[in-house]
Amino acid sequence: MSELLHAVLESEERSELRQFLHQLRQQQDKGYWLRNEILIAFDEYSNVHERKQSGPTTLLNKLIACTQEMIFENESVYFVLRFGIASEEAYRMSEELSIDPVPVRELLQLRDRTVNRSHPNEGDLLEIDFQPFYDYSPLVRDPKNIGRGVQFLNRYLSSKLFQYAQQWQKTLFQFLSLHRHDGVQLLINERIQSPQQLSVQVKRALQYVSNRSAEEAFTDLRFELQSMGFEPGWGNTAGRVWETLGLLDELLDSPDPQTLEAFLSRLPMIFRIVLVSVHGWFGQEGVLGRPDTGGQVVYVLDQARNLEKQLQEDLRLAGLEGSGIEPKVTILSRLIPNSDGTRCNEEMEKVYGTDNVWILRVPFREFNPDKTQNWISRFEIWGYLETYAIDAEKALLAQMQGRPDLILGNYTDGNLVAFLLARRLKVTHGIIAHALEKSKYLFSNLYWQDLEDQYHFSLQFTADLIAMNAADFVISSTYQEIVGTPDSPGQYESYRHFTMPELYHVIHGIELFSPKFNVVPPGVNESYFFPYTNTQDRLLDDIERLTDVVFTKDDPEHVFGRLDDPTKRPIFSMARLDRIKNLTGLAECFGKSPELQERCNLILVAGKLRIEETTDHEEATEIEKLYRTIDEYNLHGKVRWLGMRLSKGDSAEVYRIIADREGVFVQPALFEAFGLTVLESMITGLPTFATRFGGPLEIIQDRVSGFYVNPTQPEEMAEIILEFVSKCDQNPDYWNQVSQRAIARVYSTYTWKIHTTRLLSLARIYGFWNYTTKENNEREDMLRYIETLFHLLFKPRAKNLLQKHMGG
């Protein structure tokens, strides 16, 4: 990358670069420039100097376009350059314009100096470096394959089976012999004693099964197959058994990735799953919209239901229906004694519409009842997690009547508990970030000390590092969650190297090219969220009741604002009142556009109306700000703010009644990790305008199935919505076209069926990989390192926080 810097310096643009840097340097109070600021400053510079705006074609433009950061120190300027996905490098340019690469260690030291937090004694600061542990593990090469770990792994494992056939066939044979559930032997029995014998017996069994009719039930073949060494689990019919044995035969003979994937995906390995989601209010009713309680709860509940369905289907196809084996999915969450009208104080809650999905709630130990009896913010719960994991293990084993086969963590706290559980129980372990806070709060690591009292990021980021490295696999909702876009780093990428001044330097925090990363997006609950045109599934009573609530009903207790003209096209948004959700920014955008106000109303569904009702700092601030914005732009008569928690059925119907009036949905978050509301609004058929920062960038195809907006540019955002509204006025079919494309996009790409099939298939493949690496003890050294970080870094800080909680 330094070539680009050299090329600019050797070109005619050298003096322009110099001038531009000089101009930035003049701003005495500012030594640290971020991408957005650099672009704005360069635009201004170009205008003032009447630079030809020839797009990214000139060398200097190219350089500026890939500059993520500029840091001025003394006479030098440091460039952090990003040339594409997952490729970032830093260079120092001296006063004489010489260029030197800057290693990570130095870059982190430099960043510390910019905030006057450099460590006085060189060498005293802890350096965290996971790189050596990944040196011997297989790595994806091409950045475009990041997030497709399982495909890579299949290629890797099948090539091992091919190259080292003897050794790997033995491993596969041992792996298959292990399968039993509650004392019932599955797949192969002691009649088959070696891989060679397995190969022979598979051919015999194939011969036998091929002479039976494909539909014949497994039970009819059972005894004959048993005498050859095969137990249940190969299929429910002769046809299915033949296929599965055929895959194994091929695998033993001439392994290839597709066969390996198809074979492992069929194995009955997973019966009991634990989903860990500790913080917040985890329940089925009356919880959404509270601080910390949003999409993650929706995601985990839907995932649990669909996992059970898929496991039941897999069990049926494996021929295990009626064998007494029942799949079990348990959601492990926190029990909150003072449950504010929710069921979060109940230890067990059955998930509606399922056979064996339960929410199991385990309380935090009672350290200080003022805290532990109540809801605790996700930023505050670190001190409770270790003892929680110990108690949860006992509760889980009792409730599941056995060890789980798979543990999936959710968010930093759940991921940490999942790590502790998986380590003790020796179970395959996946994690799901939902949102990594590091990307949400600008400079959250650099200024961690200033933010510590409120956010405790030192604990959160340490826990993230522990969980993401310990996990066997990582499920992410989008590709850019891992590695971002060519212009901006991904959420996981931001953990690659960073400084926590005076605490530690992360030299290599996560290996983005590891096959552990897999993009498996969530879906929407299609029994609630469906197109507004499915009139047969809608209830007239609900439509009338909610139309009144949304547009007209006088209910000062729960609704703020009366619409002057309720028939105007509605602009709708629904979110928790977090700063990052930026509903206040949407109100500002609406306020700044008289044309938009002329043609539309703004409808907001946002938890609460009064600060007295909240104990959450951000929520209180946002409530105040929303009132201020409404007053400032005098939006009275044009805005309705519903401060209520809608049931899922009601919120789904609200999207639809907005669609009945050809309204739109806006998701204006400053950053959105994924954005389930975006899926919900799109499947309903609402043209959706969503933030270009985060997941929606991947969900929506701009101007096809929705629109991107930049929440930091309220005027521009208003213009984009206005342009759409004008187009709809000119072309009566335009709204419908976008609406149809939004619906199609969700059905083709974001369904729970796709999600769970993929997830279970990859859990089996990672289970096999885990087995093979465990056999060779390959990951133990990293796990030991992780444990050391947990004990020496995380625990003492968590204890301190707990002591603070004990004090008040």
Residues at the contact surface with ligand LCN, assessed by CB under 6 A: 295-296, 299, 434-435, 477, 672-676, 695
Range 771-779, long-range pairs (CB < 8 A, 24+ positions) = 771/171, 771/175, 771/178, 772/157, 772/168, 772/171, 772/175, 775/171, 775/174, 778/136, 778/137, 779/133
CA pair distance 680, 684, nearest whole angstrom: 6
Q: Residue 286 Cβ, how far from ligand LCN at the closest point, in Å?
A: 19
**How far apart are CB 68 and ligand LCN at their closest, in Å?**
23
- Return the number of the residue (435 or 720) whose C-beta is nearest ligand LCN: 435
Least distance in angstroms from the C-beta of 675 to ligand UDP:
5
Total Cβ atoms within 10 A of residue 575 = 24
Query: DSSP strand E in 19-110: where?
Result: 32-34, 67-73, 76-84, 87-93, 99-101
When CB distances are held under 5 to 8 angstroms depending on the partner's kind, the choice from ligand LCN, ligand UDP, none that residue 651 binds is ligand UDP
- The region that residue 141 occupies, defined by phi over 0 for left and psi between -120 and 50 for alpha, beta otherwise, is alpha
- Only one of the segments 3-11, 28-36, 49-57, 670-678 lies at the binding site for ligand UDP (rule: CB under 6 A); that segment is 670-678
In whole angstroms, the minimum distance from the beta carbon of 517 to ligand UDP comes to 20
- Compute the distance between CA of residue 539 and CA of residue 657 in angstroms, rounded to an integer: 12
Q: What is the DSSP letter of 494?
A: G
Is the CB of residue 50 less than 8 Å from the CB of residue 43? no
Q: What angle do CA 286, 352, 335 make, to 5 degrees?
A: 55
CB of 359 to ligand LCN, least distance (A): 17
Instruction: Decide: is 676 part of the binding site for ligand UDP (CB under 6 A).
Output: yes
Q: What residues are paired with 76 via a beta bridge?
A: 73
Using the rule CB under 6 A, give the single segment among 629-637, 674-682, 762-770, 798-806 that binds ligand UDP.
674-682
Beta-bridge partners for 642: 559, 605
Closer residue to ligand UDP, CB minimum distance, 328 or 608: 608
| Selected binder of ligand UDP within 13, 302, 437, 680 (CB under 6 A) | 680
Q: Is residue 289 a contact point for ligand UDP (CB under 6 A)?
A: yes
Residue 586 touches ligand UDP, criterion: CB under 6 A? no
Closest CA to 790 of 386, 514, 251: 386
Measured from the CB atom, the residue of 295 and 327 that comes closer to ligand UDP is 295
Q: CA 644 to CA 729: how far, in whole Å? A: 33
Tell me which residue of 626, 624, 627, 642 sits closest to 557, measured CA to CA: 642
Instruction: Give whichever of 412 and 584 is closer to ligand LCN, judged by the CB atom.
Output: 412
Considering the complex, state which of residue 434 and residue 638 has its C-beta at the smaller distance from ligand LCN.
Answer: 434
* DSSP annotation of 500: E
For residue 221, what are the CA distances in angstroms to 186, 266, 269? Answer: 15, 19, 22
Residue with tokens 């920014």: 585
Among 85, 104, 260, 298, binds ligand UDP (CB under 6 A): 298
Q: Which is nearer to ligand UDP, 298 or 406 (CB)?
A: 298
Residue closer to ligand UDP, measured from CB, 89 or 650: 650
DSSP 8-state class, residue 694: B
Site string for ligand UDP, 144-163 (x = CB under 6 A): --------------------
Q: Which is nearer to ligand UDP, 433 or 510 (CB)?
A: 433
What pairing do the DSSP bridges indicate for beta strands 504-508 and 517-519?
unpaired
Instruction: With contacts defined by CB under 6 A, name the span among 19-27, 266-274, 288-296, 769-777 that binds ligand UDP.
Output: 288-296
State yes or no: residue 412 binds ligand UDP (CB under 6 A): no
Nearer to ligand LCN, 140 or 474 (CB): 474
Nearer to ligand UDP among residue 64 and residue 288 (C-beta): 288
Among the listed residues 296, 410, 582, 688, the single contact to ligand UDP using CB under 6 A: 296
Question: Which residue is associated with the tokens 């090329």?
Answer: 7
With CA atoms as reference, report the closest residue to 434 among 758, 672, 616: 672
Contacting ligand UDP (CB under 6 A), which of 63, 264, 420, 605?
605
First-to-last C-alpha distance (Å) of the chain: 53
Binder of ligand UDP out of 432, 563, 575, 620 (CB under 6 A): 575
What are 589's two structure tokens? 């955008």
The C-alpha atoms of residue 210 and residue 226 are separated, in whole angstroms, by: 16
**Least distance to ligand LCN from the beta carbon of 603, Å?**
21
Instruction: Name the residue nearer to ligand LCN (CB basis): 271 or 379.
Output: 379
User: What's the Cα-to-Cα distance from 705 to each of 581, 735, 757, rounded to whole Å?
Assistant: 22, 11, 25
The yes or no reply on residue 681 touching ligand UDP (CB under 6 A) is no
Among residues 61 and 296, whose Cβ is nearest to ligand LCN?
A: 296
Q: Does 265 bind ligand UDP (CB under 6 A)?
A: no
Out of 383, 489, 675, 696, the residue judged to bind ligand UDP by CB under 6 A: 675
Tokens, residue 105: 């260690």
DSSP assignment of 267-329:
S----EEEEE--SS---SSS-TTSTT-SHHHHHHHHHHHHHHHHHHHHHHHTT-TTTT---EE
User: Which of ligand UDP, ligand LCN, none does 576 bind, CB closer than 5 to 8 A by kind?
Assistant: ligand UDP
Site string for ligand UDP, 19-48 (x = CB under 6 A): ------------------------------
Question: What CA–CA distance (Å, rounded) separates 382 from 376?
Answer: 10
Question: 59: which 2 tokens?
Answer: 């060398």
576 sits near ligand UDP (criterion: CB under 6 A): yes
Q: Which of 574, 683, 686, 762 binds ligand UDP (CB under 6 A)?
A: 574
Q: In the structure encoding, which two tokens stand for residue 784, read together?
A: 């030991």
Instruction: Name the minimum Å distance from CB 154 to ligand LCN.
Output: 26
Among 295, 509, 663, 685, binds ligand UDP (CB under 6 A): 295
Q: Which one of ligand LCN, ligand UDP, none is in contact with 597 (Cβ closer than 5 to 8 A by kind)?
A: none
Q: Which stretch binds ligand UDP (CB under 6 A): 261-269, 305-313, 492-500, 673-681?
A: 673-681
Cβ-based nearer residue to ligand UDP, 13 or 619: 619
Residue 428 vs 477, nearer CB to ligand LCN = 477
> Site size for ligand UDP, by CB under 6 A?
18
Cβ contact 128:121 at 8 Å: no
For ligand LCN, the closer CB: 296 or 354: 296
Residue 574 interacts, among ligand UDP, ligand LCN, none and using kind-specific CB cut-offs from 5 to 8 Å, with ligand UDP
| Buried residues in 329-344 as b, exposed as e (16+ CB within 10 A) | bbbbbbbbeebeebbb
The rounded Cα 430 to chain-centroid distance in angstroms is 12
Using the rule CB under 6 A, give the single segment among 114-122, 353-361, 439-447, 675-683 that binds ligand UDP: 675-683
Q: If contact means CB under 5 to 8 A according to the sort of partner, which of ligand UDP, ligand LCN, none does residue 493 touch?
A: none
Q: Do 762 and 150 meet the contact criterion of CB atoms below 8 Å apart?
A: yes
Q: To 10 degrees, what angle do helices 238-253 and 165-177 make?
A: 150
Minimum Å gap between C-beta 479 and ligand UDP is 17
| Residue 579 DSSP label | G
Give me the residues that bind ligand UDP (CB under 6 A), please.
288-289, 294-296, 298, 574-576, 605, 607, 646, 651, 674-677, 680
